[in-house]
Amino acid sequence: MAVAAQIYFKVGTEFGLDWLRDRTEDLAIQGHWQAVARNSLRETLYDAHRGLAERLLRETREREPAKAVEGWRAKQAATAGHARGIVEDIRSQPATADFASLSVALQALRRLADAGR
């Protein structure tokens, strides 16, 4: 159980999920539908985070969290790199992340999580 929790947090760090969560929480909300959209982004983030951790646990036998994430990422270099690249690109932009950019990042992470199913 402790290994699963450590891998969960390591995956979050690896893919910038804490940063994405903070940017989601920082979104300016103007009206009911933007509040609904922000909640949807938040749910997608949590689903992707859980899915990535589950996928990694299914696909690796390594129980050292840092090694497990590093090894898994190396095996999934193209798809994991693509998802990380999107997050990093958004982080590097001078403008604050918005609904559209966060949606794109979360979609890439969700696809990566779902690819192992």
> Domain range for residue 110?
2-114
**Higher pLDDT among residues 106 and 116, named by residue:** 106
How many domains does one find in the chain?
Answer: 1
Residue 52's Cα: distance from chain center in Å?
A: 8
CA–CA distance, 41 with 98 (Å, rounded to integer): 11
pLDDT band of 1, cuts 50, 70, 90: confident
Q: Are 55 and 49 in contact (CB under 8 A)?
A: no
Q: What pLDDT does 61 receive?
A: 83
Q: What is the DSSP letter of 7?
A: H
Q: Please give the DSSP secondary-structure letter assigned to residue 88.
A: H
The Cα–Cα gap between 20 and 41 comes to 10
Q: What is the pTM of this model?
A: 0.91
pLDDT digits (tens, 9 = 90+) for 57-109: 999 988 888 899 999 999 999 999 999 999 999 999 988 899 999 999 999 99
Distance CA(84)–CA(95), nearest Å, equals 19
- Confidence check: pLDDT of 33 > 80: yes
* DSSP H stretches of helix in 1-117: 2-14, 17-26, 32-59, 65-75, 77-92, 99-114
pLDDT, tens only, 72-84? 999 999 999 999 9
Predicted pLDDT at 30: 94
What would the two tokens of residue 82 be? 């693509």
